[in-house]
Amino acid sequence: MITGIALLLAYLLGSIPTGLIIGKVFFKTDIREHGSGNLGGTNTFRVLGKPAGLIVSLIDILKGTAAVLLPALAIFTDVGVHPLVLGAVAVIGHMYPVFAGFRGGKAVATSAGVLLGYNWLFFLILLVLFFVLLKLTKMVSLTSILLSIIAFLMAVGSHFLIRPDVPLILLISVLMIFIVYRHRANISRIRQGTEPKISWI
């Protein structure tokens, strides 16, 4: 019972359509009708500007963090699944939100939040690498894909060199698949040389 409630709550947390809420409440704009049509932070930056994009990205990150930390609440101390499973469910909620017609984001920010809640140092290393790669590629999509692969390699390396952590490897493997799949249209545009590039970094 408790496990089912925790899984449902994790999904509902992930399903909060931050970009949709911020757009409609403060800008009277449905960002699904503009830009890429995506509800994530990147499209929010593109359609609503930097402050809105930053807020949406931060909240989307915290959705994943909150899901992983659910077992820290007294009611969920006996939950029967690993915290990373809750994080993965939140990412699914972010991609396919029940509150927004199952049209959500591309899994990047909420995946990052899962890592923040589970291993903050791992998150910080990837955050630094994100901006380094973004500076080099000028493409958020390509940076996100590359970073998911790097995260997988880091998890494997950490498992063998520092501390065994099979659940982390499994989670990042799943998140990598999510991210690559959700960016399949971007991959096509990258190959064609038509993927939009940023200019602010």
Per the domain annotation, does 198 fall within a domain? no
101 in a domain, yes or no?
yes
| pLDDT computed for residue 148 by the predictor | 97
The tens digit of pLDDT for each residue in 147-176 reads 999 999 999 999 999 999 999 999 999 999
CB 119 within 8 A of CB 69: no
Torsion of CA 117, 120, 124, 126, to 10 degrees: -60
pLDDT digits (tens, 9 = 90+) for 66-85: 999 999 998 988 898 999 99
Q: Which domain holds residue 38?
A: 2-192
Instruction: Say if 24 falls within a structural domain.
Output: yes
Q: Total structural domains in the chain? A: 1
* Domain assignment of residue 199, yes or no: no
Within a domain: residue 154?
yes
Residue 109 near residue 18, CB atoms below 8 Å: no
pLDDT of residue 74: 87
Report d(CA 158, CA 161) in Å as an integer: 5
**pLDDT higher than 90, residue 35:** no
Any domain includes 42 = yes
Block residue for tokens 């982390």: 168
> Does residue 87 contact residue 139 with C-beta atoms inside 8 Å?
no
Does residue 36 lie in a domain region?
Answer: yes
Structure tokens at 143: 């940076």
Q: Is the dihedral of CA 98, 102, 103, 105 positive or negative?
A: positive
| pTM for this model (two decimals) | 0.95
